[in-house]
Amino acid sequence: MKKHFLAPFVAALVLAINAHAADPETIARGQKAEARSCIPCHGLMIIHTNRLSRAAWNRELDKMANWGGKSPDRDALLEYLVTNFGDDKPVAKPILTGDGTGQPAKQ
């Protein structure tokens, strides 16, 4: 009997999560916002190696805005960051530089 009670709840939860997923157009706008708003001060590595929750990315964007790094398309930027670098994504592989210069090791 408990299984019958949980099934509709789980189905509703899955639908709610999928309905909240960002569409490709929003993600593309967010990537452009990253290029305009984040890249002038940060390299991609510092952004793309993070794995943060929605709340943590939101706090980061608030912090950057308080330091003058405002994005005209903040909502799309947040969706882009959560979709690509959320805490549910695999941890990025470290970039090995070989000599500490920040350049990939020569083979």
Residue range 61-106, pLDDT digits in tens: 999 999 998 899 999 999 999 999 999 999 877 767 677 666 655 5
Domain that holds residue 40: 21-85
Asked if residue 65 is part of any domain, the answer here is: yes
* pTM of the predicted model as reported, rounded to 2 decimal places: 0.69
Q: How many domains does the chain have?
A: 1
Asked if residue 106 is part of any domain, the answer here is: no
Higher pLDDT, residue 9 or 47:
47
Asked if residue 61 is part of any domain, the answer here is: yes
Q: Spell out the long-range contacts of 46-51 with Cβ–Cβ below 8 A and sequence spacing 24 or more.
A: 47/81, 47/85, 48/84, 48/85, 48/92, 49/92, 49/94, 50/85, 51/85, 51/86, 51/87, 51/89, 51/91, 51/92
Asked if residue 13 is part of any domain, the answer here is: no
Asked if residue 53 is part of any domain, the answer here is: yes
